[in-house]
Amino acid sequence: MRTGDGNVTDESKQNAGPNNGAEPKYSIVIPAFNESARLPATLASVMDCIRTHGWAAEIIMVNDGSTDATAEVVRAFARTAPELRLLENPGNRGKGYSVRSGMLAARGEVALFTDSDLSAPIEEAERLFSAIEQGADIAIGSRWLESDRQTQRQPLYRQFFGRCFNAVTRAVMRLPFADTQCGLKAFTREAAQTIFQLQTIERWGFDPEILLIGLKRGFRIVEVPVSWAHDERTRMSYLRDGFRMLQEIAQIRWNALCGRYNRPVEPNQHTTL
């Protein structure tokens, strides 16, 4: 358990986890901020998927300083779901911070993170797991490789801003991906432990950073088309958050120029949690 400034608390050590304490094959990380209304359906969907497919998996919910009953909902669900663990951030730190905390705490051979609204259905994780089994180190969901898989499209203005941001990201950071921002990404344990120890961006702009780190560290990244449905309740505002994300892209480029992503990392960081 890590505590103190910039750290995260795992308050689920009483749960032995799947398979009577054996290491899971898959870790599913879900960041959450004030998601008490959506979480019961989300957790039920994820648990149903795990048990239907027979996955040896753990679920790591990362509570990002919620002011509603998010933590209480997770604790109540965990009473009948030993696969579920709760991590508590030291206040509201952002999606990037939450994903990093969960991925570094993951015990699985493959670690995946997904959004709490399940805009990409959790069943799509199987497509990413398959890509990793076929040799990828990182598999990222894409809304744009096969856009007809979108069951509910974003409003036109959000599509426009999203495409613009992706174009800027591709141009500035030279990322060869159709969709850097889809909230469904899977990593081998080695890739996750390397990339998330080097991640510095704690809010919305972390996706391009982890992809850039992956490329710089020589990991094979595969883009996988996934089904996806826009959720009107999304908290991200392209107008409000777009400028900050552009600033973060500049910070990422600066980090790369300074060699920030070339430093050595510790193996099996999750064992210190």
185 and 111 Cβ atoms separated by less than 8 Å: no
Entry field: residues in the chain: 273
Strands 150-152 and 228-229: parallel
Residue 267 inside a domain? The answer is no
pLDDT at 4: 44
46-71 burial, b at 16+ Cβ within 10 Å, e below that, comes to bbebbeeeebbbbbbbbbbbbeeebb
Residue 179 inside a domain? The answer is yes
pLDDT at 271: 45
Give the tokens for residue 178: 């159709």
Residue 196 inside a domain? The answer is yes
Where residue 34 sits, what CATH number does that domain have? 3.90.550.10
Exposure on the CB side of residue 127, measured as CA atoms within 13 A? 16
- Domain range enclosing 210: 9-261
Residue 135 inside a domain? The answer is yes
pLDDT at 239: 59
pLDDT at 273: 39
Give the SS3 label for residue 152: strand
Residue 270 inside a domain? The answer is no
Residue 273 inside a domain? The answer is no
Tally of domains within the chain: 1
Residue 140 inside a domain? The answer is yes
Residue 39 inside a domain? The answer is yes
DSSP readout, 217-266?
TT--EEEEE--EE--TT----HHHHHHHHHHHHHHHHHHHHTTGGGS---
pLDDT at 38: 94
> From the first residue on, what is the mean pLDDT of each consecutive set of 10 residues in the chain (273 residues)?
58 49 91 96 97 97 98 97 97 97 98 95 97 98 78 61 74 87 95 98 92 97 89 59 81 95 82 41
pLDDT at 112: 98
pLDDT at 14: 40
